[in-house]
Amino acid sequence: MMSPLSQSRRTAASLCSLALVAACTPGIINFVHVDSGYDPTTLAHIPFTGPLYAEVSGNPFGIPQEELQRLVNDAIQPSRAKSEKGQGVRVHFAFGATAADRNSACSIPGTNAVPATTIPASTIDHTIPVVAALCRSGRYGQALTYLVGSVDDVQGANDPRFAKFLRAATVQLFPRWDPNRDNNWCFLPGC
């Protein structure tokens, strides 16, 4: 039996529901780049199976860097994955004013890495810029994927909104398809 609502009303209701769900996600991702070397068939499942290892630079909360490192690693893990120090697929998160250079995100630790700076605690209630990168295995200085975003009104490093944003950003670092190669509108062979 057909729904009493017209097709356009069903579409409008669906779009409104989608907008409502999207509005509940903390933060915003402004840009996602996928390098031509990214292989979604081998990498897209990783944020759901893990483990992941995050290297963290910048510190928008004024807490010890090791504590921020632990909080970020805990936030990005899939629910059943165990995070071991230094093990897992390597991703990098850069926070604050130093979060502008995606190339240094995957550099050799201690060389061109983004410095671990601390932003005064008085800026916590403002926007925290974030650059995240999925680093190429065995090759420093190159990111397979990276994203640029920000999160607002986080009350501290333990704020659930901050953890939810980090998890959402991590999933976006592992897209299920490659926009550089995949044409979702083509259904004919050879497209």
The two tokens of residue 178 are 């490659």
Alpha carbon separation from 65 to 12, 20, 55, 58 (Å, rounded): 46, 35, 11, 8
Q: Note whether residue 10 is domain-resident.
A: no
The domain of 149 spans 26-172
The two tokens of residue 11 are 């579409």
Q: Note whether residue 148 is domain-resident.
A: yes
Q: Note whether residue 4 is domain-resident.
A: no
* C-beta atoms surrounding 142 within 10 Å: 15
Q: Note whether residue 2 is domain-resident.
A: no
Q: Note whether residue 61 is domain-resident.
A: yes
Q: Note whether residue 181 is domain-resident.
A: no
Tally of domains within the chain: 1
Write down the pLDDT at residue 108.
42
Q: Note whether residue 101 is domain-resident.
A: yes
Q: Note whether residue 139 is domain-resident.
A: yes
Write down the pLDDT at residue 72.
93
Which letter does DSSP use for residue 108 in this model? P
Per-residue confidence in pLDDT tens, the chain, 191 aa: 555 556 666 666 555 554 554 456 688 999 888 988 888 888 889 888 888 888 898 888 989 999 999 999 999 988 877 766 667 888 999 997 666 555 555 654 433 333 333 344 444 447 899 999 998 765 556 788 999 999 988 888 999 999 999 999 999 999 987 665 555 555 555 54
Is the omega angle on the peptide bond into residue 64 within 30 degrees of 0, that is, cis? no
DSSP 3-state assignment of 32? strand
